Chains A and B, each alone.
Chain A
Amino acid sequence: MMAVKKRFPYRAAAVACNGDCPASAGFKCRYGCVGCGNCTAVCKFGAVSLNEKGVAEVDEERCTACGMCVKACPQQVIHIHECANYIVVRCSNQDKGKEAREVCAASCIGCGICEKTCTAEAIKVIENCARIDEDVCLSCGMCAVKCPRGAIIDLRGILT
């Protein structure tokens, strides 16, 4: 696959699902990735693959943020983000805390600890799921460190 020249600030697709209710467990979560593979099929750059849990994963180096996978995803768990914002919420579950907790070990339960912790007021729980406003996020990762569910991660692998 040809490397594609990208324009700074780099953008890439991000999958908002940890995949902790994997295919083997029958994909209990209504909101998460179902491992259908539509995204991997439409990606012209080999940037999206299904990982060992059977959920989509993006290789930011290869991704051009073309948005094809976003359109192809029946679950709408893929979105485009700015790579410089390496702190991301990896969950799309909109169920209330109890149900969200039951279906997945790494789901956002909407507890709001991230919202209280965030110095920039960049992260908000909307429809029971944390969302980051990338325009104001300072990428400190305090939310990721404090998240009791491990639903927020540092894509660089430093803090989580």
Chain B
Amino acid sequence: MYTFTVNGQAAATDKKQSLLRFLRDEMHLTSVKDGCSQGACGACTVIIDGKTCKACVPTTDKLEGKEILTVEGLSDWESKVFTYAYGEAGAVQCGFCIPGMVMCTKALLDVNPEPTEEEIRYALRNNYCRCTGYVKIIAAVKLSAKILREGVIPEKSEDDWKIGSRVHRLDVEEKVLGYGKYPDDFYMEGMCYGSALRSRYPRARVLSIDTAAAKALPGVIAVLTAKDIPGENKIGHLKHDQYTLIPVGGLTHYLGDAVALVAAEDMDTVLKAKKLIKVEYEELLAVHSIEEAARQDAPRVFDEEESNVQAYKHVSRGDARKAIESAEHVITQHFETPWTEHAFLEPECAVAYIDEDEDVRIISTDQDAYCTYHECSLMLGTDKVKAENALVGGGFGGKEDMTVQHHAALIAYHTRRPVKVRLTRAESLLIHPKRHHFVMDFTMGCDGNGKILGVKAKVASDTGAFASLGGPVLERACTHAAGPYAYENFEIEGTAYYTNNPPAGAFRGFGVTQTCFAVETLLNMMADEIGITPWEIRCRNAIRPGGVLPNGQIVDESTGLVETLEAVKEEYDAAMKAGKPVGLACALKNAGVGVGLADWGRAKLIVEEDHKLHIYAGASCIGQGLGTVLVQMVVSNTDLKREDIVYERSNTWIAPDSGTTSGSRQTMITGEAVRRACGKLMEAKKDGRTLADLTGQEFYGEYLAKTDPLGADVPNPVSHVAYGYATQVCILDPKSRKIDTVIAAHDVGKAVNPLSCEGQIEGGVVMSLGYALTERYPIDENCRPTEKFGALGLFRAHEIPKIKAVVIDKPGLNVACGAIGIGEITSIPTAPAVTDAYYRLDGERRFCLPISGTPYERKGS
């Protein structure tokens, strides 16, 4: 028996296990999050004898007599202080890292009540956060220290919940104190555990599967194979080419393809049973790269396809070739961008069970509960399926596809038992679609004044083992490759190839992160050739209200690129004057999926028995703060107060389908649907009726963001209802050769919550500092990616530069009270700005990411 103290109470266990497993599985202290179980992420940080420690590291046999503290064991006063400080600072986004950060905060402040900024950074540096870029968490620690010293919690600085107010997000407390539930935090009566046996080879034919020995193992409840799928085996976000389970005779497409599913009473038995399944394979030659995939004699990744081309796009307007031929200045260049892992802190997890209606109900962490519903229904061959979101611990595009939801649904369907299917971090790194690796060739022609005359490009992407969103990502990469500039001649050709690598799909920026790097770098080179500054060349070409984008769209009055350029000018000029190396880049990014697709926002406001207005929208909050945005939307468009309103997480049986959290669309599109529903509510309240009088009534709002399809036969097609614009500046410290400051000016339309907006900007910038400088996702010769979360090269708290987020509050369209959105664009111009700054430092142009020759480069990698 091992005995120690947890939150002041005696605890004991006979089992030698990690402290993390003991705290979660036996004590159900679910503030202690399992983000990797590798010692990397820090989400399971607890305090042991006054020092922070990752709970996944020590085993229970080594803890005799130790005193362990989790967030659940904080005093009331500490709980209030940290909740206030994290809320006031805007430090909470997805929240998965937050209990660990809170533990770091406490451990530091207990011994150092007045820490310096550097001491705070060090206290947080062994814990990763992927949402915030650490800026606001550092601020929260500083504020916590001040409050703890002074002994008084001040009033919230802004609390009117109107649009434009920097209110504390509505989910701060549950995330700071760790009682908010992510799927992994559900421990249901009679719950079993499920996991998939994955393919041994990236490309092989499955000859036979023998599950007899696994089924015979005591504790095993079911072992399922493809023949147990009642509906369609092949599912997928758009194209149905993702196998739920590879059948006998079928081809495997990557190492993450599932061959069999095991459900058992506990995880130890699941793992044992997986080893007992015998699968015979015929190993086949795999396709490792774009070059291999494109060869005439290449092995085909899919039996069903005629070639490895997953998608092809050709976008052309004007005559790019002719324009470039006649141009005074022409630059041609090859560019490459890497695979990138989302590295959200919460690995994929789903809990499924049979509910009171005999439906398969799935509690999931995803970017669209309706997508989970549709794909699982397709696979089960029945619409007796419900899906709901628990808290989502970050997505960034990586949780748009089915990873565990369908497997959990299938197990629940067969066993009629609640089941939890959770990916290990190594599985997560292998399985969910990544950011596409791109190779790109660009040519730009300009006149003597730096006016762009034409751009011509050819790009190719590795979309890996199934389509996911490879087609739309390629399309967005192509349509946005022109940049936010007014010129008429543009042509791009793009091809996405299947390979046997892990799949690639949506990732914050959606293809634009890649082509923006190319076109912005070219523009910086062009500025040098012409003899003007990168700022000036952008000012001369910038798209302005009423101007025509290279895609033919006439942009409206909301267009704020020039405002973002003006916003950085003073500091840009000052840094140039001081002789500091400065880099600059711009970007545009659509809000809404656009290009003629049915982009619906839908919301239902229901007055329930508690006489409060409940907001139901089938739209996932993946950590960005959608619930807060929608509540602010209601407060601004009704006479209700914050306390009259309840935000409900997305589900598929009450909330209407409001589309995927993708394409930076929810603030504007679901926001407008909510605004319209508010109009109906106010109509009903016209004669002085109160919410209590309206109990049981529903108010529905919907909005279609109507656009024209790509290649529509109209002179000026509307590709997207709105765009966000940005300028980012990177200033280096010539002495340390590190980044001193990143200034990020973003035109977001009307900022619903400027505090959240800044948080998005800071997080997006730091994410792309990683993309530009440090991150890697190596894939070996067997198409196997890294299994180590700590080796991805994510930025740590002590490494971040100063980040100045500038929110340009220029009202957008006459929808959603002028809000446009912010999610993706924050990550887009960072890499070219950083790259240009390093060129100004050492004269070396860099065309491949992550760039080399910087102090951020990892030795020996």
A binds B: yes
Binding site for B on A (CB under 8 A): 8-9, 84, 118-122, 133, 135-136, 138-142, 145, 156, 158-159
A119 to B49, CA, bound (A): 25
User: Which of B51-59, B134-142, B197-205 makes up part of the contact surface?
Assistant: B51-59
Contact of B49 among A141, A145, A158 (CB under 8 A): A158
The verdict on B858 contacting chain A, using a C-beta distance below 8 Å, is: yes
Can you list 19 contacts pairing A with B, beta carbon distance less than 8 Å?
A: A8-B122, A9-B122, A118-B788, A119-B788, A121-B790, A133-B859, A136-B790, A138-B790, A140-B38, A140-B57, A140-B790, A142-B38, A142-B39, A145-B59, A145-B62, A158-B49, A158-B51, A158-B53, A158-B66
Given A9-B118, A133-B859, A138:B40 Cβ within 8 A:
yes
B119 within 8 A of A: yes
Does B789 belong to the interface (CB within 8 Å)?
yes
Residues of A near B119 (CB, < 8 A) are: 8
In the complex, which residues of chain B have a beta carbon less than 8 angstroms from the beta carbon of A138? 39-40, 42, 126, 790
> Known: A9-B118, A118-B790, A121-B788. Contact between A159 and B39, CB under 8 A?
no
CA distance A113 to B116 in the complex (A): 37
Interface size class of B (residues with CB under 8 A): 20 to 34
User: Do A8 and B788 form a contact, CB below 8 Å, given A141-B57, A158-B51?
Assistant: no
B57 close to A159 (CB less than 8 A): yes
Asked if B40 and A120 sit within 8 Å, CB to CB, the answer is yes
Chain A residues positioned under 8 Å from B59 (CB to CB): 145
A contact patch SS? loop
Measured between beta carbons, the chain B residues less than 8 angstroms from A120 are: 40, 788, 790-791
Known interface pairs A8-B118, A145-B59; A119-B126 also in contact (CB < 8 Å): no
Contact of B352 with A by CB under 8 A: no
Give chain B residues whose Cβ lies under 8 Å from the Cβ of A135.
859
B53 A159 Cβ-Cβ under 8 A: yes
Compute how far the CA of A84 lies from the CA of B49 in the bound complex, rounded to whole angstroms. 17
Interchain CB contact under 8 A, A139 and B126? yes
- Chain A residues positioned under 8 Å from B40 (CB to CB): 119-120, 138, 140
List 20 additional A-B contacts (Cβ < 8 Å) besides A140-B56, A141-B53, A156-B51. Answer: A8-B116, A8-B122, A9-B122, A84-B125, A119-B790, A120-B790, A120-B791, A121-B790, A122-B790, A133-B859, A138-B40, A140-B40, A140-B57, A141-B39, A141-B54, A142-B57, A158-B53, A158-B58, A158-B66, A159-B53
**How far, in whole Å, are A136 and B798 apart by their CA atoms in the complex?**
12
Is the Cβ of B57 less than 8 Å from the Cβ of A119? no
Which residues in chain B, 761-814, are within 8 Å of chain A measured between CB atoms? Answer: 788-791
A interface footprint on B13-54 (CB within 8 Å = 1, 0 otherwise): 000000000000000000000001011101000001101011
CA–CA, A140 to B58, complex, Å? 10
Q: Does A158 contact B48, Cβ atoms closer than 8 Å?
A: yes
Contact A140-B49, Cβ < 8 Å, known A120-B40, A159-B57: no
B46 to chain A, nearest CB (A): 11
4 tightest A-B contacts by CB? A140-B39, A119-B790, A120-B790, A119-B38
Cβ–Cβ < 8 Å partners of A159 in chain B: 53, 57-58, 62
Contact surface of B with A, Cβ cutoff 8 Å: 36, 38-40, 42, 48-49, 51, 53-54, 56-59, 62, 66, 116, 118-119, 122, 125-126, 788-791, 858-859
B799 to chain A: closest residue by CB: A135
Residues of A within 8 A of B791 (CB): 119-121
B-side contacts of A121, CB under 8 Å: 788, 790-791
Residue of chain B at shortest CB distance from A142: B39
**Contact among B58, B116, B122, B789 with A119 in the assembled complex (CB-CB below 8 Å):** B789
Taken together as a complex, chains A and B put the C-alpha atoms of A145 and B55 apart, in Å, by 12
A8-B116, A158-B48 known; A119+B36 contact, CB < 8 A: yes
**CB neighbours of B789 from chain A (8 A):** 119
Please, which residues of chain A bring their CB within 8 A of the CB of B859?
133, 135
Q: How far is the CA of A140 from the CA of B56 in the complex (A)?
A: 9
Q: Which residue of A lies closest to B36 (CB)?
A: A119
Note all chain A residues with C-beta closer than 8 A to B126: 138-140
Query: Hey, which chain B residues are within 8 Å of A133, CB to CB?
Result: 859
Name which residue of chain B comes closest to A85, CB basis: B126
Using CB atoms, name the residue of chain A closest to B49: A158
Give the distance in Å from the alpha carbon of A148 to the alpha carbon of B56 in the complex: 18
**For residue B38, which residues in chain A have a CB less than 8 angstroms away from its CB?**
119, 140, 142
Closest to B54 in A: A140
Determine the chain A residues whose CB is within 8 A of the CB of B53 once the complex forms: 141, 158-159
Give the nearest-CB partner of A124 in chain B.
B860
With a cutoff of 8 Å between Cβ atoms, the chain A residues found around residue B118 in the complex are 8-9
Q: Give, as a whole number of angstroms, the nearest-CB distance from B40 to chain A.
A: 4
> With a CB–CB cut-off of 8 A, which chain B residues contact A119?
36, 38-40, 788-791
Q: How far is the CA of A119 from the CA of B122 in the complex (A)?
A: 19
CA A158 – CA B58 in complex, angstroms?
9
Residue of A nearest to B115 (CB): A8
B58 cross-chain contacts in A, Cβ below 8 A:
141, 145, 158-159
A116: nearest chain-B partner, CB-CB: B788
Contact flag A145-B790 (CB < 8 Å), given A84-B122, A133-B859, A140-B126: no
CA distance A52 to B416 in the complex (A): 63
Note all chain B residues with C-beta closer than 8 A to A9: 118, 122
Q: How many whole Å from A23's CB to the nearest CB in chain B? A: 30
Complexed CA–CA distance, A122 and B796 (Å): 15
In angstroms, how far is the closest chain B Cβ from the Cβ of A114?
12
Cα separation A118 to B40 with both chains bound (whole Å): 9
Q: How far is the CB of B428 from chain A (nearest CB, A)?
A: 13
Query: Smallest distance from the beta carbon of B694 to chain A beta carbons, Å?
Result: 54
How far does the alpha carbon of A133 sit from the alpha carbon of B861 in the complex, in Å?
A: 13
Write out the residue numbers on chain B whose beta carbons fall within 8 Å of the beta carbon of A158: 48-49, 51, 53, 58, 66
A84 to B39 alpha-carbon distance, docked (Å) = 16
Report the minimal beta-carbon distance from A88 to chain B, rounded to whole angstroms: 15
